[in-house]
Amino acid sequence: MKEQEQYLSVIKFPAFVSITLIVLSAAYFGLLYHALQKPGLSNSETLIFGFLLLVLLFLVGSWALTLMSTHLRIKPRWLQRLSKWSLTHVFYSLARFLGAITFTQPGTLIESFLNFNNETVLTDQQDVRNSNILILLPHCLQKEDCNIRITTDIINCEECGGCDIATIKKLVSAQAVDAAVATGGSLARKLIADKQPDVIVAVACHRDLVEGVRDAWNYPVYAVLNERPKGPCHETTVNLASIEFAIKRFK
Ligand code: SF4
C-alpha cells in the first residue's frame, strides 16, 4: 500500500497537468466543430480561434518539453528556461486548478510537484559538478530554547545535539559547501542574490518549498521536505540522508 501511495504521489502532478491539457484541447476542438457548423466564421471568431490554437500549441509543446526534461538534459539554455518557467508558472497552476475542483489534498499534489521538479533538476545537473552549492535551511529546525544565533552563521552552532543543525553543520563542513538559515522568503531571496549559487538544496515545509521553487525558478532548486513531529514551524527535523544525497549528486 505504501509503495502504491508513493507511486501515486509521484505521478499525480504530471497526470493532473496532462488531463487538464486533454480537457482544454477537447473543449477547443468541440467549440471549433460547433462554430464550423454555421456557414463560415466571422473575422473576430477566426481571430479568437487562431489565438486560442496558438496558446494550446504553446501549452502542449512546452509540456512535452517539460516531460522530456525529466529524462533528457535540454541543451539549448533558452529552451531549458522556457520549460522551467512553464513548469513553475503555468503547469503548477493548471494542476492546482484541477486539484481544487476535484477536492484533491493540496499536500499530496505539492509533494508530487516537488518530486517532479527534483527529477528535472537531477537530469539537468547530470554530469555537472558545481563549486557553489547553497543549502538553504528553515529557522524552525533549531531547538526552540537554543540562544545561539545560527541565522548569522550556522557555524555558530555549538553542536549540543539538541536539533538537526549540529549534524547539518558537520555535513556541510565535511563537504565544504555553503549553508544558510533563512527566516522567511525575503531573507532567502537576499541570500540567493548575494551568493549566486550554481544549485540550491532547499529544506522547508510544503508551502515554503513551492513558493521558493517558483520564486527562484531560474535556479536549479532541489527540494527536501522537512518533517514536523511537533507540528508546523516548531522544532522540525529533516532527513539528513536526502541532503547528503543531493550534495554528492551536485558536487
Ligand atoms: S544543535 Fe546547535 S542549534 Fe541545535 S540546539 Fe544545539 S547548539 Fe542550538
- Ligand 1 in contact with 154 (CB < 6 A)? no
The DSSP secondary-structure symbol of 89 reads: I
Residue percentage of the chain with pLDDT more than 70: 97
Stretch (H or E) spanning 200? strand 199-204
Q: What is the 3-state secondary structure (H, E, C) of 180-200?
A: EEECCHHHHHHHHHHHCCCEE
pLDDT score for 5 = 65
pLDDT band at residue 20, thresholds of 50, 70 and 90? very high
pLDDT score for 127 = 83
Give the chain's domains with CATH numbers. 2-124 (no CATH), 133-250 (3.40.50)
What's the mean pLDDT in 81-103?
Answer: 96
- Ligand 1 in contact with 168 (CB < 6 A)? no
**Residues 138, 226: Cα–Cα separation, whole Å:** 9
Q: pLDDT tens, 26-69? A: 999 999 999 999 887 889 999 999 999 999 999 999 999 999 99
- Ligand 1 in contact with 157 (CB < 6 A)? yes
Query: What phi and psi, each to the nearest 5 degrees, are found at residue 172?
Result: -70, -30
Which cell numbers in the block locate residue 81? 528556461
Strands 237-238 and 221-227: antiparallel
Identify the residue whose C-alpha is closest to ligand 1 atom 8.
Answer: 146
Identify the residue whose C-alpha is closest to ligand 1 atom 6.
Answer: 160
pTM over 0.85: yes
**Residues 8, 80: Cα–Cα separation, whole Å:** 26
The DSSP secondary-structure symbol of 141 reads: G
Residue 198 Cα to ligand 1 midpoint, Å, equals 28
**Residues 104, 14: Cα–Cα separation, whole Å:** 14
Residue 149 Cα to ligand 1 midpoint, Å, equals 10
Q: pLDDT tens, 166-185? A: 999 999 999 999 999 998 88
Q: pLDDT tens, 69-82? A: 999 999 899 999 99
pLDDT score for 10 = 79
Q: pLDDT tens, 217-235? A: 999 999 999 999 999 999 9
- Ligand 1 in contact with 167 (CB < 6 A)? no
C-alpha Rg value of the chain to the nearest Å: 21
